[in-house]
A and B are shown apart, each in its own frame.
Chain A
Amino acid sequence: MPARTYSPPWRRGVGYALLIFFAVVFIGPFLIQLATSFKTDADAANNSLSLIPHPATLSAWKRIFGFTENAGIPFGRWLTNSIIVATFITLGRVFLDSLAGYALARLRFPGRQAVFWSILAILAVPGAVLLIPRFLVLKELTLFNTYPGMILPIVADAAGIFLMRQFFVNIPTTMEEAARIDGAGVFRTYWSVILPVARPGLITLTILSFQGSWNEFQLFLVSTSDPKYNTLTTGLAKFSSGQLGAGTQYPLTLGAALLSTIPMAIVFFAFQRHFIGGQLAAAVKG
């Protein structure tokens, strides 16, 4: 209706002013972070608000990438570990969550309802409560300080299973019935009929799984103690809290933190729609 599309100029002015103010609030810290990574330690401490490094220096970046005598931080190792665990966790979640989601949506088996409710119940368990049991179980299984120990506890997740289950429930069953009549088994039907149709759901699941595993901190904190298993999150956290023998070297830590954010940022900007859809789907669980 045309009556609602008109709005007085002052309202537009206030609207844009607010939008810009909040854009500065939400993005500004990242810009300061970027600028700080090119500053000297003294400049970072004294002119922290300035977006122009004076003098500009690459020393923090050289230390991050190890191009310096002065031992920097083992960024390459952290990055490698993050890539390894995030890859396996993401692949595992996409495969296992979608299989479990499909089973809960389609297959009739005794106890299905009980399994579904227990998965919903797992969603309610606070992550902070799992720190100790996860450590104790990994220790018992001699998986402490191993890659499998960092991957297996979160290789399938209740939120992902729930997301996929909701997705499969909304796909019509006619195609599966046709495949079944043609003699395909359950797995075969799932693999060649259902998965192609489920692409949008799988993309969302992939992105959320990558986000979750790339940013994971608590599990890696309690499943490893050896610095060679540090990921970007645990490495940065231990480095900046001084456990690796460092003080507050802001250009270095902020540069490394920025670098750890970049892969996430690329995925975010490339697949924004799926992110937003996934957040909402995950939210419905409450």
Chain B
Amino acid sequence: MDEQVLITMRDITKTFPGVVALNHAQLTLRKGEIHALMGENGAGKSTIIKCLTGVYERDDGEIKMDGVEGNIYNHSTQDAQKIGIATVYQEVNLCPNLCVAENLFIGREPKTKLGTVDWKTMFKMAQKLMDDLDITIDVTATLEHFSIAIQQMVAIARAVSMDCKVLILDEPTSSLDEKEVEKLFSLMRSLKQKGVGILFVTHFLEQVYEVCDRVTVMRNGKFVGEYNIDELPRLKLVAAMLGKDFDDLAAIKPEGATSTSDEVVLDAEGLSHKGTIKPFNFKIRKGEVVGVTGLLGSGRSEMVRCIYGADKAQSGTEIMHDKKLKINAPIDSIKSGMGFLPDDRKADGCIGDLSVRENIILALQARSGMFKRIPRAKQIEFADQFIDILKIKTASRETPLSQLSGGNQQKVILARWLCTHPDFLILDEPTRGIDIGTKTEFQKLVLKFASEGMSVVFISSEIEEMLRTCSRMCVMRDGEKVGEIEGEMTQESVMNAIAGGDKK
């Protein structure tokens, strides 16, 4: 392997109001390696990357790059791109209203002699690029028609097409299914062969061991260490990330919720939403944790959105606590005791500019109605209580939500629902893009809620996670509920159900 160093970052320091995000952090990236960057939420992974790519300007420290003279100061992502640093961020940063080809070539569109965009060439180039990456989509369709997974692939394709020396992937796999991850990995390996240095931020240990050569671990904005993957046992890696020995995952009972009563909390029959989900039945008992599993795009999210009324059901009935519900909008479901943590945190969950406090009390305020304002003292009490219970890392309760790290934002939104004391809580991918420590916390919380009598629907792309928490699973395929599995569940049996044994 070529051991030539591509990028060195030394003593990088960055502070935000009230928080030291990076404290003399460092990072070294070599040519032709896949380098994992790991750490818990708020460890400073995203921040150090943003300092490198020019999204943030660092307060202190030096960045050197092979082939570029002197200390590098990137003032914008364009600067970074010019010297060959391309990035694909955790959340897709493309224009959903433009077509795939435009997104691929925005800012560097092929031009005709007249100076107008040469659409024909652009579509051809785009098609070739997608073909090379083995992604079959119509490049002339607008991006918003595609799933987040495809959008992510487009973002990666865009980065790849820019002839980069350094490719930064900030949690690209958190919204991809297994096949797509495999595709991405083979792409990464071929780029590695070409001598590209890839910085790979992820929370998935498996993936690190599968593709990475080295790993840099960060904790609380500081550099913990750089290790060769072959020489680092998993437990040691986890311990390095958490700063303690850690076998908490095992502490969670694989049984899921232990005591379920026979009391049916919600009974939905024949619910459907045209174009997204075919009619389905769903029943949940008090204190039960039910999983919904299936591939991406199989209708998992659509099913729960339909139950909750985020997308209004076009047929069917819902009975909650023996009372027939009439749900026109989410507020109706909230009033009957439901809560819903949506999977797209950025678009459906966060109200970024509002403070943590305001975000936490929002649903409770909506339920009590506009004219019954929750007194400020009460709001503060709720906010402090949940910041404490959920261990939300924030400078203060008045900090805008957008300044928190992803996992902490998710906790705030969870707090928003816990505030309303729901009887029935839907969690759609609550653990996506957050670190294992917090993931475990979430799983424990779910089981705790259930033991207190709350009924929970839990959706996750990680089957393991659902096996640990759920006592029953609904299986979705192609926008249809195809069955339920109960009792003895293993990773294999669930995968079989998802794949649909009858097909092969």
Decide whether A and B are members of one complex: no
